[in-house]
Copies of this chain bind each other. A is one copy, B any other.
Amino acid sequence: MLYLVGLGLGDAKDITVKGLEVVRRCSRVYLEAYTSVLTVGKEALEEFYGRELILADRDLVELEAEEILKEADTSDVAFLVVGDPFGATTHSDLVLRAVHAGISYRVVHNASIMNAVGCCGLQLYSFGETVSIVFWDDDWKPESFYDKIKKNRSMGLHSLCLLGETRGWTSGWTSRGRKVYEPPRFMSVSQAAGQLVVSTGLTEDTLCVGVARVGAEDQVIRTATLRQLGSCDLGPPLHSLVVTGRLHPLEVDMLRLSAAPDALAHLEVEDSSTS
């Protein structure tokens, strides 16, 4: 059996009881190491789980999946993923390979930013399509994310923006013909806010929510205008940004809990227009 186990968002103890039982009884346990990041490292997980973890980099998962699936038809193998297992397409690929090799699989779900972002006080069913904002360089300034934010806003919906490339880009090849991946780059809320103002029709007064390390002890939620977020420092990764749509009065009340002083004035306007 192949188990795909979500680790949640914060630290070692965010695994579910069911997930921990799976980890402790499997013959091999892989830790997916390139699509996301916990606030603790592999060693902390190993100590808490009482198990050695095999780091699964992109090459191992994409090119040598058979290594992961070896003997999974007769023994149990776990594949640990930060957040929920179906956050990244690569994991679908692993599931398909397992099924086609006659190996059963089971999923142990957990929180991901896709649902945990509700902690900022915005209702999950008022979100539109999720948006990925990537780093720009001199030659490459994709703006497709902006159309999505615009569409979401035109329908009154919030936009969850996932920030930066955490999957790694190819930067070359080894002498043995393997791809070399650059380390993941994490975009901060202030970098994202800066790109959004430069590139898009969003004004500097657009009300947004920056979140950092959701689910961790030191998580930060900051409701502010794009201008304010452009100069904020929410600390270490992982950051995400929400561009608000139409606000329900209860959402306004929740956002007040995390609002910067200037943002409060904007919330008052929202409140009077919706109530």
Contact = CB atoms under 8 A, between A and B. Distances in A.
A109 interface: yes
A253 B96 CA distance: 8
Contact of A16 (B8, B92, B214): B8
Contact of A17 (B16, B125, B254): B16
B13 A13 contact: no
Nearest to A114: B115
B132 A86 contact: no
A249 to B, nearest CB: 10
Nearest to A7: B16
Given A157-B129, A254-B95, A118 B84 contact: yes
A243 to B, nearest CB: 15
Contacts of A151: 155
Given A14-B109, A109-B214, A125-B130, 12 more contacts: A6-B111, A8-B16, A15-B16, A85-B118, A92-B250, A92-B251, A95-B121, A111-B112, A112-B115, A115-B115, A124-B130, A126-B129
A146 B58 CA distance: 41
A248 B89 CA distance: 10
A256 B116 CA distance: 30
Given A110-B110, A129-B155, A254-B92, A115 B15 contact: no
A182 interface: no
Interface in A57-99: 84-87, 89, 92-93, 95-96, 99
A20 interface: yes
A109 B215 contact: yes
Interface in A229-256: 248, 250-251, 253-254
24 contacts: A8-B110, A13-B18, A13-B21, A15-B16, A17-B17, A84-B116, A85-B118, A85-B119, A86-B116, A87-B118, A95-B254, A96-B250, A107-B119, A107-B215, A109-B111, A109-B115, A109-B119, A109-B214, A109-B215, A111-B112, A112-B124, A125-B162, A128-B128, A151-B155
Contacts of A21: 13
A210 interface: no
A20 to B, nearest CB: 6
B114 A111 contact: no
